[in-house]
Structure 1
Amino acid sequence: MHGRTALITGSAKGLGKRTALQLAGLGCDVVLNYKDSKEEAQRTVSEIERLGVRATAIQADITTIDGVSRLAEEASAWNGDIDILINNAGPFVRERRLFADSDEAEVIRLVNGNLTGVMLLDHKLLPGMRKRRWGRIVHFGFGHAGEARAWPHRAAYAAAKTGLVSFTKTLAVEEAPFGITVNMIGPGDIKGSFKEASIVETAGKIDEESPIGRPGTGEDVARVISFLCHPNSDFLTGNIINVTGGFDPIRPNIHTNG
């Protein structure tokens, strides 16, 4: 992976940060992106540089057209074109509410941040990948997004992500002749500090909601992403990969005895 440059949106902290560190550990130079978390982004830049690769952080709001345009322009200018694009950033409203009770600005922000902004960023970076006839694009969804089931109280978010499923599959087919793969990761319910944790750090910890019994971590997600970005993973494209430990965010967990 040495000589490749990766852009990870929403990567000052959380799953984006863990993914950035994983790719940096494999030799990638890294462009971080943040909206408000400037201090966290600068600390992550320092962590990455200690791994012996280059890193920078760019402030941009991917829910806006201007933010997407500026991010694409500055990221491409920093170290040449982007080889690997990880679309991690995406707004999510933790509070549960019916669609009818959502305001228009919130609906627009959720759709723009989770679908439109992703599509536009892909569109701006595809020409460079096509020119080099190599590229890796990974979209973030949620566990079981590919099934497009009802998710009460998450209507706009779920609609945007399930729309992104179709876009992922279509773009994968269109860009395959150019050596570009496009896949989606569906993380499970990875909580709090575990988003940046390693698998080893979960030793002895119990998550009763998880079918496998332990909490999910950022490393669980980042390991799959790094595999998809490997040069020899060119036969894997158009896939929706759930990294959930068997957890289903919509249906209740079914526990069995014995």
Structure 2
Amino acid sequence: MSSQRTAVITGASSENGIGIATARRFARDGWAVAVLDLAGDRAEVVAKSITSEHGVPAFGHAVDVADETAVDAARDAVTAEVTAGRLPEIGAVVNIAGITSPVDFLDTTLDLWRRVMDVNATGTYLVTKAFLPRMVDSGWGRIVNMSSVSAQRGGGVFGKVPYSAAKAAILGFTKALARELGPTGVTVNAVTPGAVDTDIRVGSTAEQEAQIAGSIPVGRTATTEEVAAAITFLCSADSSYLTGVTLDVNGGSHLH
């Protein structure tokens, strides 16, 4: 792609996360990347490392995806980079930023419920709405939203009720927006990973991890690179006839 478009990726600074693996995969495929994360300093470091390693333009900026003012500021910062010619036009938005909730339902609080919904579901809404107009105007774009097998199975991995509910909301959001944007040239799809080797499961025990891996037909959890490959495929020209799709990346742990 030779840096002809920029991929905007949220939640992309954690060293063991799907976001940073996705940013690196985009760069490897020739995209420029905008790394957005709550840890703004870390996002800038990741962006610099991507440029150094892959020779593509990269930009890092802080964002709290649950805060509309912060999202709009991040959009304006990325847009300024595009206007100045330091980044190519925005071609993809990948909503990865999220938090989990491994708390039994009766132990949840309204504050926890709201925070999980705000970061996972409302964050996906705010970031998509902020960056979508430029892609619609250009007549080409890709939106990929991070859901989870927990949305399909009703938990059963690590996150519980608030997490599963928020990730299920993302699936409905994806399908409805895909239908609405059909004629615009912008596709909207979701990925639903199962268990992945990331820090989001910090706090799980070795026994829990072994049980999870043992329940997966392929006998192991996914790598972040495997999820990143699915995401970048959905942003490629090869996926042009896919919209409203839920792409399972779960090693067979949930079969329809």
The 3 A distance-change label for structure 1 pair 137 and 179 is: same
How far apart, in 1, do the equivalents of 2:123 and 2:7 lie?
18
| Identity over aligned pairs, percent | 33
2:103 partner letter: R
Structure 1 match to 2:208: none
Structure 1 residue 89 and structure 2 residue 120: aligned?
no
* Pairs aligned (count): 234
Structure 1 residue 169 and structure 2 residue 175: aligned?
yes
TM-superposed deviation, 1:192: 3.6
Give the alignment partner of residue 217 of structure 2, picking from 211, 214, 221: 211
The 3 A distance-change label for structure 1 pair 243 and 153 is: closer
How far apart, in 2, do the equivalents of 1:90 and 1:194 lie?
9
Structure 2 match to 1:47: 49
How far apart, in 2, do the equivalents of 1:76 and 1:159 lie?
32
How far apart, in 2, do the equivalents of 1:211 and 1:21 lie?
28
Q: TM-score, normalised by structure 2?
A: 0.83
How far apart, in 2, do the equivalents of 1:27 and 1:111 lie?
33
How far apart, in 2, do the equivalents of 1:121 and 1:224 lie?
20
Is 1:142–1:187's contact at 8 Å kept on the other side of the alignment? Answer: yes
Other structure's SS at 2:242 match: coil
How far apart, in 1, do the equivalents of 2:118 and 2:103 lie?
20
Is 2:154–2:161's contact at 8 Å kept on the other side of the alignment? Answer: no
- Deviation per residue, 1:42-90 (Å, 9 max, x gap): 4422331120101111111112222222222212222245210000001
How far apart, in 2, do the equivalents of 1:194 and 1:64 lie?
21
Structure 1 residue 73 and structure 2 residue 71: aligned?
no
Is 1:92–1:110's contact at 8 Å kept on the other side of the alignment? Answer: yes
Structure 1 residue 33 and structure 2 residue 36: aligned?
yes
Aligned counterparts, 1:1-258, within 5 A: 1-2=1-2, 3-13=4-14, 14-36=17-39, 38-39=41-42, 41-49=43-51, 50-80=53-83, 81-93=89-101, 95-98=102-105, 100-143=106-149, 145=151, 147=152, 149=154, 154-192=160-198, 207-248=213-254
TM-superposed deviation, 1:159: 1.3
Other structure's SS at 1:184 match: strand
The 3 A distance-change label for structure 1 pair 103 and 228 is: same
Q: Extract structure 1 runs of 4+ deviating beyond 3 A.
A: 147-153, 192-195
Is 1:194–1:215's contact at 8 Å kept on the other side of the alignment? Answer: no
How far apart, in 1, do the equivalents of 2:198 and 2:245 lie?
27
Is 1:194–1:218's contact at 8 Å kept on the other side of the alignment? Answer: no
1:12 partner letter: S
TM-superposed deviation, 1:144: 5.6
How far apart, in 2, do the equivalents of 1:192 and 1:27 lie?
25
TM-superposed deviation, 1:158: 1.3
In structure 2, the gaps of 5 or more residues are 84-88, 202-212
In structure 1, the gaps of 5 or more residues are 196-206, 249-258
How far apart, in 1, do the equivalents of 2:94 and 2:78 lie?
13
The 3 A distance-change label for structure 1 pair 52 and 194 is: farther
Q: TM-score, normalised by structure 1?
A: 0.83
2:28 partner letter: G
How far apart, in 2, do the equivalents of 1:209 and 1:17 lie?
27
1:96 partner letter: V
How far apart, in 2, do the equivalents of 1:231 and 1:4 lie?
12
Other structure's SS at 1:86 match: strand
Structure 2 match to 1:202: none
Is 1:194–1:216's contact at 8 Å kept on the other side of the alignment? Answer: no
